[in-house]
Structure 1
Amino acid sequence: MGRPSWRLSAKLLIASSLVTVMGFSAICASVMLDMRRGEEQLARQSLENLASGIDADISRNIELYDLSLRNVANNVGVPEIKDVSKPVLHLILFDHAATAKHFGAIQVFDADGRLTVDASTLDPPPENRSDEEYFTVHRDNPNVGLFISRPMLHRGRYAIVLSRRINGPDGHFMGVVAGSIRFSYFHELFGGLSLDEGDTITVLRRDRTVVMRRPFDLDVIGRNLGERRDWNPANLKDGSSYEGAGPIDRTPRLYVRRAGDHPLIVIVGKPLDAIFKIWRTQASRIGAIMLALIVFVVAVTLFLAREIKRRAEAEAKLEELATTDALTGLRNRRKFDATIESEWRRAMRHKTPVSLLMIDADHFKAYNDTHGHQAGDQVLVGIAICISDSVKRAPDCAARYGGEEFAVLLPGLSPSEAMRVAEAIRTKVLSWSGGESASTVSIGVAGTTPVLGMDWSALVHAADKALYAAKASGRNCCILATVPTLSLAA
């Protein structure tokens, strides 16, 4: 009985520990994932704010410069200013915004691409830009509006050229007005920001041509990212974010694209390693603590399971000692009474037979007085061995009933079947003891199918009476009794 209870207790302890460990691990994992999402959300918000600030500054300056281009495009073809002097013409066409820092001088080209007016000088040198992209675009398409060129070397400096078409009164092409925003503007703008190593800022045209990038790299400037086959533009739509390697380098970053309809696109990126650096440190610390706790819980669980096992084994030994006869190794009277009580109730529920053998060593007192108590004990041990060899079923219970008397409970056997077991025991005892002059046993056999209202003491009483009948019949025999009305048969 002790071993199954230990197994149950150990399994319950291990299951409880496992559930506890899994529960705390799930909570810990959930907290760490929430922390990670929090770090990611904070980084995304910071990048969105950064992208918005950069986009607003670039858009404002482009809008201011575009107003100057519009002013020139609208006024240069007015007939009233054809005959004015060059200084007056400059005052009419060019405002102070066009001469701001990082802005190139505005130039006016006629329909053939020849330079006619230059905001930086009253006498511009001969110059023809009819083969430039910003000229041919407006010449061939009247609906372009503001055009921003690819990054290029313009008038000795790297810049992007902003241009507008000049239309005649009837809409025919009269030329192009163009100006530039130098790279120095972007360098100064990005230089004033607090950026970490690995952070990137990319400014693109709508056709995904790189206008400017931080960190600055001339090999990247002017590259069209739309031509990259290993990059899907759908990864980063207007106003969205993307985690992973970008189209320029393979460093995993969180990229945020500024939403809007501005002429230039601003994308900022931050390395994922930098975003999750603090989180990884905290996660490692929490993970180490959790691992230590798990090891501690497992160790304590194993220790307690071992102690439970030891205690259960000790209790099993105590129970065995309490229910086992020390001399013969059979069950004692206490265990026999408990077993017959439970088996009697089970037989009553299932309506199955129960049989009982009452066995007594013949002439034992005389043998004991003649040969001594030690020899008498050896006889009892020999009888017990013969009984054990004959009774091998799991539900059977062989016990030393008292002194030289033994009892064998045989659940599920009919009286006739029990009689065969009794004969087997008697024969083995006779064979073991060495003949007619040796020790023999008398056996009383009783069996019945219990019914409601019948007590198992009736079965014991019937088997006991059968035993007395066997002794009265000359000993070394088996007598069968019936229950409740006792009848004897040799």
Structure 2
Amino acid sequence: MNPTFTLHATPGKWSRPEVILIFGSSFAVVAILVIVTSLLFRERDSATEFAARTASNIVQLIDADVQRNAELYDTSIQGMIAAWQLPGIMAIPSQMRHLMLFDRSTAAPYKGDLLLLDKNGSILADSTSLVPRAGNFADRTHFTAHRDNPSLGLLVSDPFKMRLGDPDWCISFSRRVSSPEGEFLGIASGAMRLLYFNELFKDLSIGKDSNVNLINTHGILLARQPVLDGNDMTGADFSQQANFQRFLKEGSGHFTSVSSLDNKERLYTFSRVGDLPLIVVVGQSVEEVYAVWRRTTLLVGSATSILCFGILWLTFLLRRELRLRQRAENGLAHLAATDGLTGLANRRRLDQVLKTEWARGLRSGQPLSLLMIDVDNFKTFNDRHGHHGGDEALRTVAATILSRIRRPGDLAARYGGEEFSVVLADTPLEGAQVIAEAIRAAIEALPRFANDEHAITVSIGVVSHVMRPGDTLSTLTRIADQALYQAKRKGRNRVECGSWTSHRDPLVT
């Protein structure tokens, strides 16, 4: 097994190009999603506003129609009161009196009975007959309201079913009849069949699951189209429902809410009808309102998702290529800094590390130690075992040296030929001596190569120095080299230490 050294290990760490690529792509995807989402929500708001404007136009048309009819009824009622209060009205022939009282009532569509009631609720005059029909309406809420409150003007009643004639749902427009002294004399009222509103609403095109409603300020439903499941809900009380409370509070506007009747979400557009106690409400199905927007959202969302996934996929591919390229570059850099035979750092890498550690030691004030190692009598060994045997011996020596270096920051390198070097940062002379002796002993203890009678041994020169300004790296290597040759001269297979006694001339001991 060939010993190796790590040039620089950064497992799992992203390179700068990877960081730029990933964050740039992520930012682009997020920006696209934010922009598209913002545009889609703006389109949704536009769909809401368009639907609300459309419904508002319908509300305004209904509002104008209801007010016009209310004015017609009020004109008829006020004319009836004015004619009744003419002196000598009862002396006029009944046919003429009937014409004077009710001649203005013919213009109102779907009109019901116009009645003049006395203070007891009995009929004094009847639009349908020269001879008033028998009937009493003292129990009607609009009658009692006028009786008890002289200040009421035109009053619109809650819906009721007619007692005379066909029992249709109606509302009553009524006014109080008072004497010159303010005494209650009765009321004048005109009934309007709610069938009119149902017929009016039927002609409106508002979409599936949508509806038009007329409701009074008491929360009583007057008309609704289309009817819900065929059930006539006229007269239903919605006064306690949250939606009605909002209609009543805001007066006009639009909002989205769930119907209390069928639990479907609708866009409600509503408005108060002039000064009348009536509210027109158009409820549009949210499914209809946002149908086009949802189709657009599906198409745009799908296209955007494909685009974003495409960007992320390309990012993944580019990142993979960057990693492959980085690995290739690291591999080339490793090869450029590695000795091909032993797997240790080569001379070029050794020089780089020495310069780096020298500069760092100069800043930190920590000692730097250097070991110079030479295989003893290697030429003779090479002659006995050939180049192949020599190469195998060098690999074994390199592996042994590397096995005695414990710290990640230490470096073992092949200096050249059969020479090796070990750089020990932040290591004093005593520590360097211990490591050098461990290397020497381990190599000496190696099994004999091919039953050779001579063991493989090494001589080691050691130097350790705390750098000061003015010191040079070349001096350090020269001292280590001289210590190595001192070990050679003293018999080989030994460790010798060099000392740094001056900046100019190293003395070898």
Distance 1:99 1:64, change over 3 A: closer
Instruction: Check the 8 A contact 2:413/2:420 in 1, yes or no.
Output: yes
1:26-79 Cα shifts (integer Å, max 9, x gaps): 111111111111111221222222212211110111012111101212331332
Q: 1:252 matched to which residue of 2? A: 265
Q: 1:482 matched to which residue of 2? A: 499
Instruction: Check the 8 A contact 1:235/1:242 in 2, yes or no.
Output: no
Give, in whole Å, the separation in 1 of the partners of 2:487 and 2:331. 37
Give, in whole Å, the separation in 2 of the partners of 1:128 and 1:28. 68
Give, in whole Å, the separation in 1 of the partners of 2:381 and 2:201. 117
Q: 2:425 matched to which residue of 1? A: 411
Give the aligned residue type for 1:20: A
Give the aligned residue type for 2:246: A
- Please say if 1:305 is aligned against 2:325: no
- Please say if 1:135 is aligned against 2:143: yes
> 1:97 Cα shift?
4.1
Give, in whole Å, the separation in 1 of the partners of 2:220 and 2:483. 113
Query: Which residue of 80, 103, 114 maps to 1:95?
Result: 103
Give, in whole Å, the separation in 1 of the partners of 2:278 and 2:473. 102
1:424-479 Cα shifts (integer Å, max 9, x gaps): 11111111155993221111111212222322111111111111111111211111
- Please say if 1:67 is aligned against 2:84: no
Give, in whole Å, the separation in 1 of the partners of 2:507 and 2:434. 18
- Please say if 1:164 is aligned against 2:164: no
- Please say if 1:76 is aligned against 2:78: no
Instruction: Check the 8 A contact 2:124/2:132 in 1, yes or no.
Output: yes
- Alignment partner of 1:258: what SS? strand
> 1:99 Cα shift?
4.6
- Please say if 1:29 is aligned against 2:49: no
The percentage of aligned residue pairs carrying the same residue is 35
Residue range with higher mean Cα deviation, 183-192 or 403-412: 183-192
Give the aligned residue type for 2:14: R
Distance 1:378 1:96, change over 3 A: same
Q: 1:212 matched to which residue of 2? A: 223
> 1:82 Cα shift?
2.3
- Please say if 1:238 is aligned against 2:251: yes
Q: 1:53 matched to which residue of 2? A: 61
> 1:4 Cα shift?
3.7
Q: 1:269 matched to which residue of 2? A: 283
Residue range with higher mean Cα deviation, 427-436 or 401-410: 427-436
Query: Which residue of 442, 447, 455 maps to 2:464?
Result: 447
Give the aligned residue type for 1:384: A
Residue range with higher mean Cα deviation, 163-172 or 10-19: 10-19
1:397-417 Cα shifts (integer Å, max 9, x gaps): 111111111111111111222
Q: 2:4 matched to which residue of 1? A: none
1:251-302 Cα shifts (integer Å, max 9, x gaps): 1111122144323211111111111111111111111111111221221122
Query: Which residue of 196, 199, 202 maps to 1:188?
Result: 199
Instruction: Check the 8 A contact 1:470/1:478 in 2, yes or no.
Output: yes
Instruction: Check the 8 A contact 2:98/2:127 in 1, yes or no.
Output: yes
Give, in whole Å, the separation in 1 of the partners of 2:240 and 2:387. 110
Give, in whole Å, the separation in 1 of the partners of 2:455 and 2:105. 136
Q: 2:339 matched to which residue of 1? A: 325
Structure 2 residues not aligned, in runs of 5+: 1-6
Instruction: Check the 8 A contact 1:355/1:446 in 2, yes or no.
Output: yes
Give, in whole Å, the separation in 2 of the partners of 1:14 and 1:272. 40
Instruction: Check the 8 A contact 1:74/1:166 in 2, yes or no.
Output: no
Residue range with higher mean Cα deviation, 241-250 or 396-405: 241-250
- Please say if 1:391 is aligned against 2:402: no
- Please say if 1:226 is aligned against 2:239: yes
Give the aligned residue type for 1:293: L
Structure 1 residues not aligned, in runs of 5+: none
Give, in whole Å, the separation in 2 of the partners of 1:227 and 1:458. 100
- Please say if 1:149 is aligned against 2:178: no
1:313-335 Cα shifts (integer Å, max 9, x gaps): 22222222221112211111111
Give, in whole Å, the separation in 2 of the partners of 1:128 and 1:382. 127
Give, in whole Å, the separation in 2 of the partners of 1:415 and 1:379. 29
Give, in whole Å, the separation in 2 of the partners of 1:232 and 1:345. 83
Instruction: Check the 8 A contact 2:79/2:104 in 1, yes or no.
Output: no
Give, in whole Å, the separation in 1 of the partners of 2:108 and 2:372. 124
Give, in whole Å, the separation in 1 of the partners of 2:25 and 2:56. 46
> 1:222 Cα shift?
0.5
Q: 1:202 matched to which residue of 2? A: 213
Query: Which residue of 454, 479, 489 maps to 1:472?
Result: 489
Task: Count residues with an aligned counterpart.
Answer: 488
Give the aligned residue type for 1:183: L
Instruction: Check the 8 A contact 2:479/2:507 in 1, yes or no.
Output: no
Query: Which residue of 373, 395, 402 maps to 1:381?
Result: 395
Give, in whole Å, the separation in 2 of the partners of 1:414 and 1:152. 110
Q: 1:370 matched to which residue of 2? A: 384
Residue range with higher mean Cα deviation, 282-291 or 124-133: 124-133
Give, in whole Å, the separation in 2 of the partners of 1:246 and 1:296. 43
> 1:364 Cα shift?
0.9
Give the aligned residue type for 2:245: P
Distance 1:460 1:227, change over 3 A: closer
RMSD: 2.2
Instruction: Check the 8 A contact 2:368/2:428 in 1, yes or no.
Output: yes
Give, in whole Å, the separation in 2 of the partners of 1:436 and 1:471. 20
Give the aligned residue type for 2:181: D
Query: Which residue of 172, 179, 185 maps to 1:174?
Result: 185
Instruction: Check the 8 A contact 1:225/1:247 in 2, yes or no.
Output: no
Give, in whole Å, the separation in 2 of the partners of 1:187 and 1:130. 29
1:216-253 Cα shifts (integer Å, max 9, x gaps): 3654211121145x666136621132211134432111
- Alignment partner of 1:432: what SS? coil
Give, in whole Å, the separation in 2 of the partners of 1:285 and 1:332. 62
Instruction: Check the 8 A contact 1:332/1:401 in 2, yes or no.
Output: yes
Query: Which residue of 10, 20, 23 maps to 1:12?
Result: 20
Give, in whole Å, the separation in 1 of the partners of 2:154 and 2:112. 16
Give the aligned residue type for 2:339: D
> 1:2 Cα shift?
7.0
1:336-368 Cα shifts (integer Å, max 9, x gaps): 111111111111111211111111111111221
Query: Which residue of 361, 370, 389 maps to 1:356?
Result: 370
- Alignment partner of 1:447: what SS? strand
> 1:183 Cα shift?
2.4
Instruction: Check the 8 A contact 1:430/1:436 in 2, yes or no.
Output: no
Instruction: Check the 8 A contact 1:348/1:451 in 2, yes or no.
Output: yes
Instruction: Check the 8 A contact 2:267/2:283 in 1, yes or no.
Output: yes
